[in-house]
Amino acid sequence: MEYPKTFEELMECFKMLPGIGAKGAERMAYHVLSMNDDQVNRFSHALTDFKKKIHYCKVCGHICEDEVCEICKDEERDHHTICIVESPKDVFAMEKLKEFHGVYHVLGGTISIMDGKTMDDLNIQSLLDRLDENTKEVIIATNPTREGETTALFLAKLLNKKNITISRIANGLPIGSSLDYADELTLLRSLEDRKKI
């Protein structure tokens, strides 16, 4: 026996989410069925509101509700030090440390031959546009994966032409992991032990 079409459609939508297979989608659909109307309305409103209001900062590529994110607007931060990360979740991971007081630049991924992602697919031009004579240091904090290392080497080569200190976070992080899964102490040591490239 098959599920009603509406139930199947909701399951298919849940399966679009990363890490959600057929069984997980089925459980979620049954849970939605058990929710009251207010909860369902809140859930659907949150989804549509999220898509309407959340976008990328025009300066750094981080997520925000305004044109420019809170970090880029913050005059207390060191705008002469830029930390390059792969995604917005890496910004949140770094911010948990409360030790980095510079600003960020979100690439929106990494160079990946397997996925057909080149430097043109990344947020690199806006990085080059924001570098000026006041920029002191660029910290490359891509994940310690093959793609992250490839991207870091490419960026280092590209930025070496500028009169800026270029550093890479130290490998206190295990190879193959992501910044957002690292514990705060490991992440802090990686930031403190960064090396010049």
Q: What confidence tens digit (pLDDT) does each residue in 64-77 have?
A: 999 999 999 999 99
- Cite the beta strand spans of 16-159 per DSSP E: 55-56, 63-64, 78-85, 102-106, 137-140
Q: Is 196's pLDDT higher than 90?
A: no
- β-strands 78-85, 137-140: how paired? parallel
Q: Is 15's pLDDT higher than 90?
A: yes
**What pTM did the predictor assign?**
0.81
Specify the range with the lowest mean pLDDT, choosing from 26-30, 47-51, 120-124, 175-179.
175-179
Please tell me the number of Cα atoms within 13 Å of 145 on its side-chain side.
14
Mean pLDDT within 140-151: 90
Output the pLDDT for position 92.
96
CB 72 within 8 A of CB 103: yes
Q: Domain spanning 5-53 has what CATH number?
A: 1.10.8.420
Output the pLDDT for position 115.
82
CATH 3.40.1360.10 residue spans of the chain? 69-196
Of the chain, the percentage scoring pLDDT greater than 70 comes to 98
Residues ≥6 apart with Cβ < 8 Å to 83: 94, 100, 102, 103, 104, 105, 138, 139, 141
Q: Is 186's pLDDT higher than 80?
A: no
The CATH label, of 2.40.400.10, 3.40.1360.10, 3.10.20.30, 3.20.20.70, for the domain at 69-196 is 3.40.1360.10
Split at pLDDT 50, 70, 90, the class of 172 is low
Output the pLDDT for position 185.
67
Split at pLDDT 50, 70, 90, the class of 88 is very high
Q: Is 14's pLDDT higher than 90?
A: yes
Output the pLDDT for position 11.
96
Mean pLDDT within 6-33: 96
Q: Is 119's pLDDT higher than 90?
A: no
Output the pLDDT for position 182.
79
Mean pLDDT within 32-48: 96
CATH 1.10.8.420 residue spans of the chain? 5-53
